[in-house]
Structure 1
Amino acid sequence: MAAARCTWKCCDEEKEGDNVVVVQFSNGDVKSTDQLDFKYYKNVLTSNPRKRSRRILVADSDRLSYVGNNFGTGSLKCNSMCKYYVGVLDKSTMKMEVHNAQLFNMQPIIPGEALPAEDTDTKKSYRHKVDSLIEAFGTNKQKRALSSRRNNLVGEDSLQQAVAQAASNIIEQKGIEVLQQEVADSEAVTDTALYMPVCNPEADTEEGVYPFNELLSDVEYAALESVGKKMSELTSGELLIMKEKGCPHTVMRILETLPEDPEARDRQARCLWYLSLLLKISQQRVISRKFGSEEDCPKIILNKVMKTFSVESFNHGRVKNVVSSSMQVKLASYCLALLLHMNHQTANLTRLHQDLGVYDSRMVEVAKSMGLKLTKMPAEGEDQAGNDEHKFATLKLPLMKYERFSGQRKRKKLR
């Protein structure tokens, strides 16, 4: 009788990962598979190319449970090195279907016994692996370098905790208010023109370049009537007391030379009182709530200076008005513009920068930004003791244009 011939048939409908399972038990052979209940689990992360092919096979019996997988330490390495096939022969047609196969090593799981820990070597980075080799086989020099690097290494979590702790300590010591002020002071005023009063360079007269109504509106000027009247009626004795208490030199010099005409004297006194208020603000870091109460400052004037020459700072649920470095520049420009209207479009920059508490260079920068002409004149009277020459700023049409200094100097070549 002639032997029957069979042909191979490849199963084209087989999906990726749905392979035939071939199992082996690590502690013996199974005589009857009917005593085992097999369950096959697939990884749900099908979008991850590294995890979509992971499979776990579980076999339960009355005595023990067996688990096998195709990944991790318990998997067989032969699955990645070889390709296995299983043939199923149909005796009626004598055709054999060929399927991909995977081998699983089934290991018993004893209740109460901890599962084998996952190999941490696979999770170690290249740096950790090199460090392990240096520890085992490195030279003394390499070991010293490794020890030094580890001592200087700060973990990411430790660094964040250290920064957070340092920040909280600084906040507790200085407070949010002081920190905000330091940040404001550290910001360089790159363009002083942003803090200049309203300017009309096309004006026909010098008085119209920096309009007086932009410095003091009609309503604000009327509110200064009572305080201006008190200042215009000061006696020589009261002036002496003000001088001893440290009244600004700019204010004292104008007080001593108030005009005799009632209307001009009243206007000069009102402007001078407002100027003294701005000079007082420039000497403070934080404007308190009681500010202006001793001078009987009108409410409309107090609201104006708070809104125009301070920035709001929040600290412990309270709002405080802080005079930042940019606001000091703004105060200097407005004081200078007010002085121009009070003294025939001429102002003493030397006295003004001393009263404001700003640097002479900053005061000159403000005057240049306003298009004023700068001159020097010998000091007179009591000013001679402090400085032989005083700088003056004069407004003349057309306005002066100055080239901005870039602040960059050429580096000398080393020879």
Structure 2
Amino acid sequence: MAAATWRYRGDLEAERPAALVRFANGRLRSPESLRFTVYRSRDTAHPRKRHRRILVSETERLCYVGHNFGSGVMRCNSLCRYFVGVLDKESGQMEVYNAEMFNMQPLLSDNLIPDDTKDYQKKSYREKVDLCIEAFGTSKQKRALSSRRMNAVGSDIVSTAVTKAAANIIDAKGVTALMQDVAQDDVQTISAFLPPCHEDADRPEHVYKFEDILSPTEYEALRVPAAALASATAEDIARRAEERSHCSFVLEELKFLPADEKSRDHKARCLWFLDTLIKFSHLKVIKKKHPMGPECPHIISRKLMKSFTSLTYNNGSVQNLVSASMKAKITAYVIVLALHINNFQTDLTVLQNDMKLQESRILDIAKALRLKISKAKGGLGLENDQNHKLGTLSLPLPVQKAPAGQRKRRKIN
């Protein structure tokens, strides 16, 4: 025979290594007559569950079960790697495959007789394993089983106690007071996503510093994309308004760019970033590496993904999501940036329409930012008789108060 050579083949089938079995209760007299059945997890998308397998074998006297997950799994699978070689004696070629070790344990029950298997078949896999532990488990396994069952009973008792306590609180405090507490919690939740606030500032521009919105490096990166806004003519602005390439707030502010070149460039950069934030808030799940397009600087794309998205697990992969809390954070940063653009007074109604928010939502965020809310008549695509809400940042900052109660619902005639 020629000198043997070997070749690594990986898994015997797709994501299915070969199985090496050992029987916990000794050696079998005729192992060649055994037939094995493999059960795989249906959750193929989950990176951990998709590799779970259960190996079942049956002899004339006993059933055997082995698995590669759970508390009773053999530790050697995580500490060592196993391989199986299949040698072709004629060619001298050996095919090497991945392998996995299974510890086959007998499946028994004290009250199981051939004519009474219906109740046993209805039991879950967990319950069947518990029966095996009761019959053949070690002292440690039996203690763990007893502890788990006691915890299950304790959980039921706690759940009943919590339900009873909740009912007592509702009876004692009333639904109205509880709704006020929920509203206060909502304000506190919003506050967690606000820009850093310097309450001891002596000037409005120092309450929410511009550097906390855009770092010097990020600000410098906006010079190139904002150049088109800084050089926009009246015809360009009219065309952009017709194409709706920018939000209403930005289109209106482009009409009033300063004549001074430095101030004009500064305002153009702020407007470009504000417009990008509003467009980003309309997204749901971020699937692209550069969701705002190739013209958006890399450092700005990284800031958007890192600061204004939350990670979520879906279909076996991690995704970036613009959640409701992240949209609240974006809204807070948009309002603060608009304050810096408009001498610390801005039209909240225009921003509300651009961001497609309810008025109550943007007012809650504005109040959390310690703005004074007032009314004013205004246009900008709305009816002249529609009241606009203005937000003003002035010193001293108003004291945050808990909501006085639920807002009155508008009656629909």
TM-score w.r.t. the length of structure 2 is: 0.51
Partner-residue secondary structure (3-state), 1:195: coil
1:151-171 residue CA offsets vs partner (Å, 9 max, x unmatched): xxxxxxxxxxxxxxxxxxxxx
* Conserved? CA contact 2:371–2:398, under 8 Å: yes
Alignment of 1:260-409 (within 5 A): 260-289=259-288, 291-292=290-291, 294=293, 296-380=295-379, 382-383=381-382, 385=383, 388-405=386-403, 407=405
Q: Which amino acid aligns with 1:341?
A: H
Partner-residue secondary structure (3-state), 1:191: helix
1:228 aligns with 2:226: yes
Q: CA deviation at 1:242?
A: 1.8
What is residue 201 of structure 1 aligned with on the other side? 199
Q: Which ranges in structure 2 are unaligned for 5 or more consecutive residues?
A: 1-112, 120-184, 408-413
CA–CA separation in structure 2 for the residues paired with 1:207 and 1:116: 84
CA–CA separation in structure 1 for the residues paired with 2:242 and 2:224: 24
* Conserved? CA contact 1:340–1:347, under 8 Å: yes
Q: CA deviation at 1:223?
A: 0.5
1:243-267 residue CA offsets vs partner (Å, 9 max, x unmatched): 1232311111111111111000000
1:389-414 residue CA offsets vs partner (Å, 9 max, x unmatched): 211001001111242216469xxxxx
Partner-residue secondary structure (3-state), 2:391: strand
Alignment of 1:1-400 (within 5 A): 191-246=189-244, 247-289=246-288, 291-292=290-291, 294=293, 296-380=295-379, 382-383=381-382, 385=383, 388-400=386-398
* Conserved? CA contact 2:250–2:271, under 8 Å: yes
Between the two proteins, the alignment pairs up a number of residues equal to: 227
1:346-377 residue CA offsets vs partner (Å, 9 max, x unmatched): 11100001111111001111111111111111
TM-score w.r.t. the length of structure 1 is: 0.51
CA–CA separation in structure 1 for the residues paired with 2:225 and 2:312: 30
Q: Which amino acid aligns with 1:354?
A: N
Q: Which ranges in structure 1 are unaligned for 5 or more consecutive residues?
A: 1-113, 121-186, 410-415
CA–CA separation in structure 2 for the residues paired with 1:386 and 1:285: 33
CA–CA separation in structure 1 for the residues paired with 2:114 and 2:381: 94
Distance 1:115 1:352, change over 3 A: closer
Distance 1:347 1:116, change over 3 A: closer
Partner-residue secondary structure (3-state), 2:283: coil
**Runs (4+) off by over 6 Å:** 114-117
Q: CA deviation at 1:190?
A: 5.3
Q: Which has the larger radius of gyration?
A: 1
Q: CA deviation at 1:234?
A: 2.0
What is residue 167 of structure 2 aligned with on the other side? none
CA–CA separation in structure 2 for the residues paired with 1:404 and 1:278: 29
Partner-residue secondary structure (3-state), 2:373: strand
Partner-residue secondary structure (3-state), 2:192: helix
Q: CA RMSD in A?
A: 2.6
Q: CA deviation at 1:195?
A: 0.9
* Conserved? CA contact 2:280–2:292, under 8 Å: no
Q: Which amino acid aligns with 1:312?
A: L
CA–CA separation in structure 1 for the residues paired with 2:337 and 2:303: 15
